[in-house]
Structure 1
């Protein structure tokens, strides 16, 4: 080899080593959904559920899940300003966790066996019940069986509508929309006859000023929905979040959040559930 070739080889090797070091530095981002910033924590919530998780027009976030998530983040060492809120639609929640796009999810996330195969759950932190919302002037739906041959709306990825069709009203006509707000518009415009999901979510919608007097809850307790905090499978966060939830109940914060977010709708909530106990 002549000197020119040797010099080129040395320079190429040095460049490759530099690139390798740079790549290693870039990849060492701390893991999780925080994007490498140890001060940040990324939390998945709903953006379109009043009383649960709502992104307001001015860009702030409100709701029971927002308050719970903020409390958990504080117990994990993060100020509210450290939280990066990310929309977690029903159909996307497992994927967001599996990809590490979020650190945890608090998004009216009912614990069930199928989901537990893919992600882990801390909690539960709220026991809700499946119900229906109908138009205030509609007296044709007084029991679950009345949903037969009715257009029943829920969102893609939610188990609510399928529960009704499988167990209570096999002839219900399922209409799956992208979000609950779309179902609500369909209900108001008579494109659908009923919207089904958890009573806590429905109460939040019914309590909005623009909808007061237009809708009513059916009052059906068609299932038990144990809300959990979703984390990656095998994540150590599960135990830390459970500790935070226990503290939240003990210090009275849980009751404060329930009254703040559901009180205006006269929502008859269940007592705080015992952490780790799933009500079937």
Structure 2
């Protein structure tokens, strides 16, 4: 037995407790730098996918399960990559954390109404797009006073704080509308129900999900005035994975699964995607 070994076995009880505490601290530090050495969130044979947990019709956590168009597309991609549904680890991907989650290796891919932008492409790689959304308006069912952005003068709108939709309203309609910003679209829908605002604005497919969950009490106007290309977020530079994801999206469109998933998740909202841009051509990141 060498001298260093005697340090751990010899001495009184307090000395032994000191060395045990030191070992625990050293292991904790090592875990920070090498998660694989002390156990990590990544499991062999699993794929970790980031989605939204709070967007009806897109990514929504419901009684321990996950439903929505983004979820269905993610499941299809995972299957094409060789993973069954029980091999998927779902991770919540809030908008502000998406880039960091990919850069830190917390997830393998992200499908979370993730618009492809030049700024984001500087730090991550996108595959797709798998859907092209457009900013639109949602009103109370039966309200015909707003039939498009041309009818916004003097109206009260709601959108989410920090969203691209809120920025667009400020840039294009600041002199015409009163904008209320809320932390989430559920709060905006509540404000619309109660008459505090006249319309909610964000991407049309997000509005369609909200309208669908409202069971006929809300409706989407159907006059989009921007284009948002939803991509699959991937760690920067992984072009091999981007090609595989794009191939899966193309197959999903070709066999009709894409159309069925879109219809199922927007049922009752009278939603029709802009056919000028949909289905899209997934060619990003290759």
Q: Deviations over 1:124-181 (max 9, x none)?
A: 0112221011123544433314434433222234211211221345443333322211
Shift of 1:86: 1.6
On the 8 A contact 2:127/2:284 being kept in 1, the answer is no
1:261-280 matches, within 5 Å, as: 261-269=265-273, 270=275, 271-276=278-283
Partner Cα separation in structure 2 for residue 198 and residue 66 of structure 1: 17
Q: Does structure 1 residue 93 correspond to structure 2 residue 98?
A: yes
Q: Does structure 1 residue 220 correspond to structure 2 residue 220?
A: no
Alpha-carbon spacing, 1:231–1:174, altered in 2? closer, same or farther (3 Å): farther
Shift of 1:43: 1.1
Following TM superposition, the consecutive aligned residue runs of length 4 or more in structure 1 with deviations greater than 6 angstroms are none
On the 8 A contact 2:135/2:201 being kept in 1, the answer is yes
Q: Does structure 1 residue 244 correspond to structure 2 residue 248?
A: yes
Partner Cα separation in structure 1 for residue 261 and residue 144 of structure 2: 33
Q: CA RMSD in A?
A: 3.2
On the 8 A contact 2:220/2:269 being kept in 1, the answer is no
Partner Cα separation in structure 1 for residue 68 and residue 120 of structure 2: 24
| Corresponding residue pairs, total | 266
Shift of 1:60: 1.1
| Alignment match, 1:230 | 233
**Unpaired stretches in structure 2, ≥5 consecutive residues:** 9-18
Q: Does structure 1 residue 43 correspond to structure 2 residue 49?
A: yes
**Unpaired stretches in structure 1, ≥5 consecutive residues:** 1-5
Q: Does structure 1 residue 55 correspond to structure 2 residue 31?
A: no
| Alignment match, 2:12 | none
Q: Does structure 1 residue 8 correspond to structure 2 residue 3?
A: yes
Partner Cα separation in structure 2 for residue 260 and residue 84 of structure 1: 23
Query: What is the TM-score normalised by the length of structure 1?
Result: 0.81
Partner Cα separation in structure 2 for residue 248 and residue 216 of structure 1: 28
Q: Deviations over 1:24-48 (max 9, x none)?
A: 8x92639xxx823112222111222
